[in-house]
Structure 1
Amino acid sequence: MLIRAIDLDDLDRIVELEHILFTSAWNKSDFIYELLENQFSFNYVLEENDQIIGYVGVWLMYEQSQITTIGVDPAYWRRGLGRMLMQEMIELAMKQGCEKMSLEVRISNQPAISLYQSLGFETVAIRKDYYQDNHEDAYLMVKGLEG
């Protein structure tokens, strides 16, 4: 398996996965903005046999970092790939001197919440009406990063 930076040629597959995984999915223009316009945004794909099976985005902003998106092809669930992507982003953030990492997650997404808790994230707040598709709340989860 290989984790590498996303390039524009990857976006059709990533958007396809986004729409499989999320009811409030990012579109291609969202990813293009992150890749070409947002200086704080770093985005990666996970490949197996030259096929994209996962992706992750993170903002690295001085002492703060935030997971912006993460997804794994459902055919590859329960193999620790989400954990692998998260651990890579935690290491990257630490190398960049970040002191905290945050993310938002649907309050109904128990598998993701369990993963994040196992990596040391704690729920610190509820973002009311966070998701546009169904107005579901999100947990704001934060992890301190140790050097």
Structure 2
Amino acid sequence: MEYRKMKPSDIQGVYEVEVSAFSNPWTISALKSELNNKLANYIVAEDENGKILGYVGAWYILDEAHITNVAVHKDARGRKIANGLMENLIQECLKSKIDHITLEVRKSNIIAQNLYKKHGFKPEGVRTEYYQDNREDAIIMWKEIKAV
């Protein structure tokens, strides 16, 4: 598995991951606009055949990163791809002198919460009825890192 920065030619593959992973996926145009967003930083997981199997995105604002999405194609789950994406994102944050990383995760998504906890994220609050599709609460999680 290769982990690398997302490029324009990855959009279709990232979109396929989105559709596979989420009931309310981002559109292709939204993904394209992220490539032009100076705050946005995206990493893809690409297999040996050049297929995008997952991605993670974050906005870097001053010394903080806000994770926008972590997704792995449903057919590629169980291969520790999300773990690799998180490890690569944390390393990129360190290189960029980011001190804190935050995200929101569905209250019902215990698998994702456990992944984030494994990487040192801690639940710090709740956003009530955060998700528009079903008004589910989001758990706000934070991780403190210090650039070396």
Answer whether TM exceeds 0.5 for this pair. yes
For structure 2, the 5+ residue unaligned runs are none
RMSD: 1.2
1:40 has 2:39 as partner: yes
Q: 2: distance between equivalents of 1:77 and 1:20?
A: 11
Give the alignment of 1:33-72 within 5 angstroms. 33-36=33-36, 38-49=37-48, 50-72=50-72
Q: Which amino acid letter does the alignment assign opposite residue 75 of structure 1?
A: D
Three-state SS of the structure 2 residue aligned to 1:98 is coil
**What whole-Å deviation, never above 9, does each CA across 1:31-70 have from its counterpart, x for those lacking one?**
111111x111011211112111111111112210111111
Quote the sequence identity (%).
Answer: 34
For structure 1, the 5+ residue unaligned runs are none
Q: 2: distance between equivalents of 1:70 and 1:33?
A: 17
Three-state SS of the structure 2 residue aligned to 1:140 is strand
Residues matched between the structures, number: 146
For 1:113, the equivalent position in structure 2 comes to 113
Three-state SS of the structure 1 residue aligned to 2:84 is helix
Give the alignment of 1:1-147 within 5 angstroms. 1-36=1-36, 38-49=37-48, 50-147=50-147
Identify the range of structure 1 (104-113 vs 20-29) with the bigger mean alpha-carbon deviation: 20-29
Three-state SS of the structure 2 residue aligned to 1:84 is helix
> Is contact 1:99–1:144 with CA below 8 Å preserved after alignment?
yes
Three-state SS of the structure 2 residue aligned to 1:29 is helix
> Is contact 1:24–1:132 with CA below 8 Å preserved after alignment?
no
Q: 1: distance between equivalents of 2:74 and 2:100?
A: 29
What is the TM-score of this pair, normalised by structure 1?
Answer: 0.94
Q: 2: distance between equivalents of 1:64 and 1:91?
A: 14
